[in-house]
Amino acid sequence: MAGTLEFSPDDRYNAFITTCKEAPFSDGVLAGTPIAVKDNISTAGIETTCGSRILEGYVPPYDAHVVELLRREGAAIVGKTNMDEFGMGTTTETSAFGPTTNPIDTSRVPGGSSGGSAAAVAAGLVPMALGTDTGGSIRCPAAFCGIVGFKPTYGRVSRYGLIAYANSLEQIGPMARNVEEISRLLSVIARYDPRDSTMIDRPYKHQPSVDIEGLRIGVPEEYFGEGVDARVAETVRDAISVLEEMGARTVQVSIPGMRYALAAYYVICTGEASSNLARFDGLRYGPAVDTRKPWHEAYREIRQEKFGAEVRRRIMLGTFALSAGYAGRYYAKAQIARRNIKEDFERAFRSADIIAGPTMPTVAFRLGEKTDPLSLYLSDILTVPANLAGIPAISVPCAGSVDGLPVGLQLMGRRFEDERVIDAAYAYEQGVGR
């Protein structure tokens, strides 16, 4: 079977930046399945902007590895989803093309930076989508929109064709309405690619199981402490009790390095961003600059005009953290903190098979509510540790809600034990009858 899928969604949520009215597809396990792709993943012949004016009109000449695999298995790529500019944000409000709204409550944010992908799935515009997760950018919008979002182990899915924000942290992953669809999409995109030197050859070939008898679930108090809404914490504890009723048992674990996670994450990611985004200068990428002006003047003008405030802020922070005399004081210490967090997880996994906690400390906040950058950064406290450690993590909707809004249960596992994380999420989903 092969053909063309017509796609004209009622995109009242501004979930898409670009849509493909006619999307070709071929035979394969995803034959004719409409799939949306986050707008920082290269798609040959389809505009790819990263949610930024500096890449407006850019049409990649090649597909990312994950897009190649989707096309090979018959998927219809129906459009590119809205996102925080270059993935820098927690709400999808920093997009140069306007904010995406949450289909559950359009007065609220969908989360970010993969908010467009989450909204498209939650609204039923597509059954599945691809997002990217640098510090929670798949899991956050999944939690806020009431869908499932999975960040694979770092190196399990190729990043070839992903427009880089922070190379050592980010990972492409699937988003869908249920865990079974997450598993199906992961089986397509988690295939070896020699073009990504950080990738490990471990294809995903797994059918989710509800058998979690004897599974040890670690519950770190750090995930339920200060800053976490008490109602969110209670809803997540109720979700963990469902897994206990299905045969799992809980154990107490600790991630003491959590106190440094957010600071370490933002030093590392902004440092890498300042380097990665240097190429967008109007000569290599971006709108052409006025070559009659001195290069540094033209460079400054094009970036000031085309980059949004949050991108400029993070470039400045990263440049400062990497500058002479400060790299050792900030970036080197951040890497030490990162190693300590990774070791904390390794210790925790000696007594636990899965670590569970809330995905986000609160439910989705209102559009425009978080105007202070620091308060937005603090929202990432529960998701960034998994990226620093490179471990797999999933957000699955809890059976309960807070003020009628979804709450995400986050499950994390050992590196390359993605299958076990999928099983735990699937068991919970089946246990509550979703």
Residues carrying an active site annotation: 38, 113, 137
Residue reference for tokens 């309960």: 400
- Total residues belonging to the chain: 434
Specify the 3-state DSSP secondary structure of 185. helix
CB 87 within 8 A of CB 134: yes
Residue reference for tokens 């190379």: 167
CB 157 within 8 A of CB 64: no
Q: Which value, to the nearest 10 degrees, does the dihedral of the CA atoms of residues 356, 138, 384, 101 take?
A: -110
Rounded to the nearest 5°, which phi and psi values hold at 44?
A: -60, 125
CB atoms within 10 A of CB 362: 17
Residues 6 or more apart from 302 whose CB is under 8 A from it?
Answer: 54, 281, 282, 286, 287, 289
Question: What is the distance, to the nearest Å, from the Cα of residue 144 to the centroid of all Cα atoms in its chain?
Answer: 13
What distance in Å separates the CA atoms of residue 182 and residue 19, rounded to the nearest whole number?
22
Report the run of H or E that residue 422 belongs to, with start and end.
Answer: helix 418-431
DSSP string covering 123-145 = TTS-SEEEEEESSSTTHHHHHHH
What distance in Å separates the CA atoms of residue 199 and residue 182, rounded to the nearest whole number?
20
What distance in Å separates the CA atoms of residue 172 and residue 169, rounded to the nearest whole number?
10
DSSP state of 407: E
Strand pairing category for 354-358 and 216-220: parallel
DSSP string covering 207-237 = ------TT-EEEEEGGGGSTTS-HHHHHHHH
Residue reference for tokens 């999944």: 142
Return the half-sphere exposure (C-beta side, CA atoms, 13 A cut-off) of residue 23. Answer: 29
CB 422 within 8 A of CB 208: yes
